[in-house]
A and B are shown apart, each in its own frame.
Chain A
Amino acid sequence: MSGEIFQELRRCLLSGEPVGLVLVTRVADEVAALTPLASKLLIRPGATVLGSLGEPELDRVVSRDALAMLERGVSGTRHYGSRGEARREEIEVFVESFVSPPKLIIFGAVDFSRALVEVAKVLGFVVTICDARPVFATRARFPLADEVVVDWPDHYLEEVGPTLGARDAVCVLTHDTKFDVPAIIGALSSNVGYLGAMGSRRTHEKRWERLLEAGASEDELRARLMSPIGLDVGARTPEETAVSICAEIIAVRSGRAKGAMSSLRDGSGPIH
């Protein structure tokens, strides 16, 4: 039978609320009676801690550390004394931080967007489609999207831009300067980790000029805008293009998008 900690962990994971799980993964024989292997704490920002490691001071110290790790979105192993003392090794815990899934906002309710929603869902993104044209931005055309919004990109980004962070992505696929430029300018004023815009090299060059006219700086465009969007894998169809875009999102997030991307076969570094 599963109990209170699993049910609450499950609820948080399904709703996307941040939650941390502390698990005792090794314990010295002399303290195992008080703090058994697999003892747990469930950490939620602003809520009481569920569970116990068997010793109140240990609970207090580990909860404090686990909450700090959850706020930074990091997981890892830590060591403590039996009463939470630092620089001791009696108890090893694994702290797993479950943060909300990353967000992908796609501007442009086009056919390429439909394929991008499908691939991004495989990667665990919460996906929003945004387009100012109600005829195109419909739930029926994007059944897998978490949200379909009829709005102008700049207006929508004013609202959600402050919530975007390093793991999130914005893809601008409208093929229309009057939507592209405000979407890119809006995304640049957020902390979004990936920003890409679709278009041929010719479209890209014209758009670049318009972006400079709209107040973007050459430096920030070079640093942050992936345009033309995607890795050079020879994609032609919407589905292939979606894979190319998602591969680039992964590469940017893992810091491997600098310089030419190469096949693993042609490199020599570790693969994981």
Chain B
Amino acid sequence: MREILSTVDTWLAEGKRVAIARVIGVEQSGPRDPGATMAVNEDGEVAGSVSGGCVEGAVVIEALDVLATGVARRCSFGYSDDQAFAVGLTCGGTVHLLVEPLDW
């Protein structure tokens, strides 16, 4: 969280809307621990990370959608036998995220 503050400050000062994606759980292997945070502004610019780069692209899409709807959501990325997840971690783990507008 600390590492994204200065970028988020800049975006807020420019009047940009910002979404925050936060790792809230990891199953098996995951490159970032719970608490890892990524911020996405309304232009799709990114600060921070929630994985080793495996799912950030998909998180930007989720974050922009959250900014469009204004509603927080939980989402998960990982490999699954039932093909429930479109994007996975190459290490085979699953990462659970909460994505929300920075309106608090």
Is A3 in contact with chain B by the CB < 8 A criterion?
A: yes
Which one of A38, A98, A124, A272 contacts B72 once the chains associate, using CB atoms below 8 Å? A38
In the bound complex, CA of A5 to CA of B20 (Å): 14
Interface of chain B residues 1 through 16 with chain A (CB within 8 A): 1-2, 5, 9, 12
> Pick the contact of A37 from B18, B29, B98 — CB < 8 Å?
B98
> B100 contacts the other chain (Cβ, under 8 Å)?
yes
The distance from the CB of A42 to the nearest CB of chain B, in whole angstroms, is 9
Are A3 and B103 CB-contacts (below 8 A) given A25-B98, A96-B34, A96-B35? Answer: yes
The listed residue (B2, B9, B34) touching A94 by CB distance below 8 A is B34
Asked if A272 and B5 sit within 8 Å, CB to CB, the answer is no
Contact assessment for A23 and B5 in the assembled complex, using a CB-CB cutoff below 8 Å = no
- In the complex, what's the smallest C-beta–C-beta distance from B38 to chain A, in angstroms? 14
Q: Which residue of B lies closest to A124 (CB)?
A: B2
Cα distance, A3 to B103, chains bound together (Å): 6
Q: For B9, what are the chain A residues with a Cβ–Cβ distance below 8 Å? A: 10
A13 within 8 A of B: yes
Complex Cα distance A4/B98, Å? 20
Interface centre among A4, A77, A96 (most CB of B within 10 A): A96
Closest residue of chain B to A38 (Cβ to Cβ) is B72
Which A residues from 189 to 237 make CB contacts under 8 A with B?
none
Question: Once the chains bind, are B24 and A23 in contact (CB under 8 Å)?
Answer: yes
Q: Which of A5, A76, A124, A270 contacts B104 (CB 8 A)?
A: A5
**A1 pairs with B2, CB closer than 8 A:** no
Would you call B54 an interface residue if the criterion is a C-beta within 8 Å of the partner chain's C-beta atoms?
A: no
| B interface, over-half SS | mixed
Residues of chain A in range 1-25 having any CB-CB distance to chain B below 8 Å: 1-6, 9-10, 13-14, 23, 25
B98–A23 touching, CB < 8 Å: yes
Establish whether residues A98 and B1, one from each chain, have CB atoms under 8 Å apart when the complex forms.
Answer: yes
Contact A10/B5 with A25-B74, A38-B72 known, Cβ cut-off 8 Å: yes
A75 interfacial by beta-carbon distance below 8 Å = yes
| A36-57 interface bits toward B, Cβ cutoff 8 Å, 1 = contact, 0 = none | 1110100000000001000000
Q: Which residues of B are found within 8 Å of A1, using beta-carbon distances? A: 103
- Structural contact, A94 and B24, CB atoms closer than 8 A: yes
Contacts of B30 in A (CB 8 A): 272
Contacts of B74 in A (CB 8 A): 25-26, 37
Kindly supply a per-residue 1/0 record for chain B positions 16-28, scoring 1 wherever the CB is within 8 Å of any chain A CB and 0 otherwise.
Answer: 0010001011000
A222 to chain B, nearest CB (A): 32
A residues sitting closer than 8 Å to B (CB atoms) are 1-6, 9-10, 13-14, 23, 25-26, 36-38, 40, 51, 75-77, 94, 96, 98, 124, 270-272
24 contacts between A and B (CB under 8 A): A2-B102, A2-B103, A3-B103, A5-B104, A9-B1, A10-B5, A10-B9, A23-B22, A23-B98, A25-B24, A25-B25, A25-B74, A25-B96, A37-B73, A37-B98, A38-B104, A51-B104, A75-B35, A77-B24, A94-B24, A94-B25, A96-B22, A96-B35, A272-B91
Q: Which 4 A-B pairs have CB atoms at the shortest separation, nearest pair first?
A: A38-B72, A94-B24, A38-B100, A25-B24
